Structures are given as C-alpha cells and as structure tokens.
Amino acid sequence: MTICSLCENKRAFSFVTGPDSRQYLHCPVCRLIFVPPSLLPSVEQEEKRYLQHNNGLHHRGYLKFLSQAVDAAAPFLFENASGLDYGCGPSPSLSVLLEKKGLEFTNYDPIFFPEMPSGPFDFIFATECFEHFFSPAAELVRLNQLLRSGGFLVIMTSLWHSLKAFRNWSYARDYTHVSFYHAASFEYICRQFGFKHAGGDQKRLIILQKE
C-alpha cells in the first residue's frame, strides 16, 4: 500500500505526468507530489549526482543564489546565534557566509557530513534539500527537534503551482528530486509540525518559526 511521505494519507492518489518517464503521485490531502518508493534513487546515485553540482565558494552564481536566503533571514538572525546548514552537500558554503556575520554554524549532510548534530539551534537553513527528502514527515520531526522554541527554519525549494505545468517542469528532471511541495503543503506542515509562517516569497523561499 502506498502512503504519502508527508501526511501518511492512504487514500487514492492521482497519477501525475512529469517531464521524464518517472511515475509521480499527487496526494489529495497535503498536495505533495512524490515519487513512489520503488523509484527512489540509491545512495550511490545520489552521491554521484551531488558531486556533479557546480557549487561551492568559488562559484559566484551559487553564492548569489544562497544570498537570497541569507538576506531574507537577516531580520531573524542575531550575533552569536547558533545555526545549522541541514543538507549542506559536499562543499559547505552557507556556513562560511554566515560565520562572517558573527554566527556560530554547524554543517550536516546525510552523505557528506553524516554526524547528526545535537542542537538545539536558533535557526536552521535547509536550502535546496526538501525536494530530496524521501520521507518529509520524518525529516520535519527531526528538524523540529533540532530547532529551539521560537527558532527559524529557512527553506529554499521550488513550489509547484499547476499539474499542467508540472508536465514540463525542469525542476522535476533531476532524478534526485523526489518530493515537490505546493503552498498548501506548507500550510499542512505548519498545522501538523508546530510551525507558523514568518516570511519568504512563498514561491521558492519559505521561512517558518517554531511555535
């Protein structure tokens, strides 16, 4: 039996056509579009793909991209606050940018920096990693546990808006992207996991505060 990886709904899912040959399922409860478990990539496939990304401190375009999250979160950050880059990848860059602002920072990545930090943290950045979550529900429970009460979760992931547009959406072409969120998905996340909206553009950048 297929179960939604975000809300654990077991009701009938609708099949969604994507830009590649993969099968996609749409949950009618939380509006998550997800790849079924049988089609998830292996750890080896994930690592190979992540090492192909042209990211890091040497890449100006990537730093400009990350600065969107840093600038949006700036009103919520304070000197000596403790932060976590959740899903930092093989070349941590966000931590370097924020440490220059006087913030304490820790890196975590399930493949490249697998030691789970203890927390709690004042803020957590999760830039371009929500779409990689095999089990968003489990990851959100962990993120909630790692975040201090009143702390902020800064998320970057592209939201889908229409099933028709999803058919040709380039964001879904990356085989390591397996979970795709609608604005309604984040409404569900706030209700179910103890967060409230605090900022962002609600298109690619979402800032949540732990209640």
Residues 47-90: pLDDT tens digits?
A: 999 888 766 556 677 778 888 898 999 999 988 899 999 999 88
pTM as predicted: 0.93
Query: Averaged over 114-124, what is the pLDDT?
Result: 93
At 58 the pLDDT is 63
Cβ-proximal residues to 106 (8 Å cutoff; 6+ apart), any chain: 82, 83, 84, 85, 95, 117, 121
At 133 the pLDDT is 98
At 111 the pLDDT is 94
127 pLDDT more than 70: yes
138 pLDDT more than 90: yes
112 pLDDT more than 90: yes
Query: Averaged over 105-114, what is the pLDDT?
Result: 94
At 11 the pLDDT is 81
12 pLDDT more than 90: no
Are 7 and 188 within 8 A, CB to CB?
yes
Share of the chain above pLDDT 70, in %: 97
At 41 the pLDDT is 96
Measured between alpha carbons, how far is 193 from 183 in angstroms, rounded to an integer? 15
Q: Cis peptide before 120, with omega less than 30 degrees from 0?
A: yes
104 pLDDT more than 90: no
- As a whole number, the mean pLDDT across the chain is 92
Handedness of CA 142, 137, 103, 210 (dihedral sign): negative
Query: Averaged over 14-27, what is the pLDDT?
Result: 96
**Which has the higher per-residue pLDDT, 92 or 155?**
155
At 54 the pLDDT is 66
At 93 the pLDDT is 85
